[in-house]
Chain A
């Protein structure tokens, strides 16, 4: 799909439906959606500064490794968000800056965040360990 912020609703529906099918509870679904939105918006905002481009999003759940993973692939400007400095949450409001908040939230909400650049493509995979507790009841 095209990497534009107006497509977030489509991504939201795709991921929400997949997590619902997996049986992931509302609390964890919210966290994963939160992290996914930050990454998607980042790609939509910065990956293609001069033209429109695409982003592919893959959802993967393997019950054998108890992990849900979401992969974002784009052909935009190489950018490794895992190398981004930590966001300082103790700063006073007057010193607060807008940038970096999203990536910080991804790091806080997900268990792993892996990045690699291959064949002209940014690959970012975020994953979360799934235990039986989060699969024990239905979504809202």
Chain B
């Protein structure tokens, strides 16, 4: 597996190629961690050259999305404290960016779909 990282205007695209399995997902998570530590939460995973992904890859994606959710919740909480907002309908969920996974092949898309991951991550063929 190889990962090419492109960061522009606080938006990150990871071009991944090869297989995301139990061994390579360690590196995958490490790269995602670095991006999240830099407070970048708008992330696109380009799967154009990903031929295979096991549940190890899904776990990494779940981990990253959960981190993004908690980071967004923290930001929103701080904003609310500063502004002393009286808005009652402030919905953190709407502000939370979802991971984008694009150019997914049929086999990998099926993995996302069968596990229900398409509900909380933007997955596009």
Given A27-B106, A98-B59, A101-B58, does the pair A140, B23 have CB atoms closer than 8 Å?
no
| Complex-state Cα separation, A117 to B22, whole angstroms | 26
Where the two chains meet, the residues of A that have a C-beta atom closer than 8 Å to any C-beta of B are 5-6, 8-9, 12, 26-27, 30-31, 33-34, 37-38, 41, 87, 89-94, 96, 98, 101-102, 104-105, 108-109, 140
15 contacts between A and B (CB under 8 A): A5-B23, A8-B22, A12-B21, A27-B106, A33-B52, A37-B21, A37-B56, A41-B22, A41-B54, A87-B115, A90-B116, A92-B120, A93-B119, A98-B62, A108-B114
Q: Which of B54, B58, B107, B120 has the most CB of A within 10 A?
A: B54
> Known contacts being A5-B23, A8-B22, A27-B107, is A94 close to B69, with CB within 8 Å?
yes
Taking the closest CB of chain B, its distance from the CB of A55, in whole angstroms, is: 14
Bound state CA distance, A9 and B21, in angstroms? 9
- In the complex, what residues of B have CB within 8 A of residue A37's CB? 21-22, 54, 56
B interface residue numbers (CB < 8 A to A): 21-23, 51-52, 54-56, 58-59, 62, 65-66, 69, 106-107, 111, 114-116, 119-120
Residues of B within 8 A of A98 (CB): 59, 62
Distance in angstroms between the alpha carbons of A85 and B93 in the assembled complex: 30
Q: Are A6 and B23 in contact (CB under 8 A)?
A: yes
A30 x B107 contact (CB < 8 A): yes
Specify which chain A residues have a CB less than 8 angstroms from the CB of B54 in the assembled complex.
Answer: 34, 37-38, 41, 102, 105
Q: Chain B residues near A41 (CB, 8 Å)? A: 22, 54, 56
Number of A-B contacts (CB under 8 A): 63
Majority secondary structure, B binding face: helix
Given the contacts A89-B114, A104-B115, A105-B115, A30 and B69 also touching, CB distance less than 8 Å: no
Distance of A6 from chain B, by nearest CB (Å): 7
**A93: min CB distance to chain B, Å:** 4
Determine if B116 and A89 form an interchain contact, defined as CB atoms under 8 angstroms apart: yes
- Chain A residues with CB under 8 Å of B114's CB are 89, 105, 108-109
Q: Which residue on chain B has the smallest CB distance to residue A9?
A: B23
Min distance, Cβ B85 to any Cβ of chain A, angstroms: 23
Q: How far is the CA of A102 from the CA of B58 in the complex (A)?
A: 10
